[in-house]
């Protein structure tokens, strides 16, 4: 069974082996009988060299199979990431060809003014 929790007493009570992570990376692995709350907190917050206990728990980090190797360009990943922007550019080009007055400064200002309200609501103040 895999359990995910930030409650350290709960983690110590139900686990046989504990793997800690920080910012999406594995920061340590330890058996639950060797762990206490202080050691777990240091594994979650500090690097192995800065731990107060001086112990270096197992620090295994294998490359994720989905992550690309340096120098390789993931074209589909970029297209998926920027799909909304690409769609808006194509839509704007279509409106510009269909209605020549679409790209006038006054019309672009009005469109930007109307869309800015939704943009502020989407990202917050």
Distance CA(26)–CA(47), nearest Å, equals 11
Distance CA(36)–CA(38), nearest Å, equals 6
What pTM did the predictor assign?
0.37
Distance CA(37)–CA(30), nearest Å, equals 12
Distance CA(73)–CA(90), nearest Å, equals 23
Cβ(30)–Cβ(57) under 8 Å? yes
- Round to the nearest angstrom and report the end-to-end CA distance of the chain: 42
Read off the pLDDT of residues 36-76 as tens digits, 9 standing for 90 and up.
888 888 888 865 445 444 444 444 444 555 555 566 777 88
Parse the chain into domains and list their residue ranges.
Answer: 8-50, 75-123
């Amino acid at each position: 069974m895999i359990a995910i929790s930030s409650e350290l007493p709960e983690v110590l009570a139900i686990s046989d082996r504990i793997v800690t992570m920080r910012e999406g990376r594995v920061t340590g692995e330890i058996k639950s009988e060797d762990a206490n709350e202080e050691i777990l907190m240091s594994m979650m917050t500090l690097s192995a060299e800065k731990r107060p206990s001086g112990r270096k728990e197992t620090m295994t980090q294998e490359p994720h199979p989905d992550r690309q190797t340096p120098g390789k360009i993931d074209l589909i990943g970029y297209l998926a990431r920027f799909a909304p922007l690409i769609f808006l550019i194509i839509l704007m080009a279509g409106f510009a060809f269909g209605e020549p007055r679409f790209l006038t400064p006054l019309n672009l200002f009005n469109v930007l003014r109307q869309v800015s309200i939704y943009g502020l609501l989407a990202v917050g103040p």
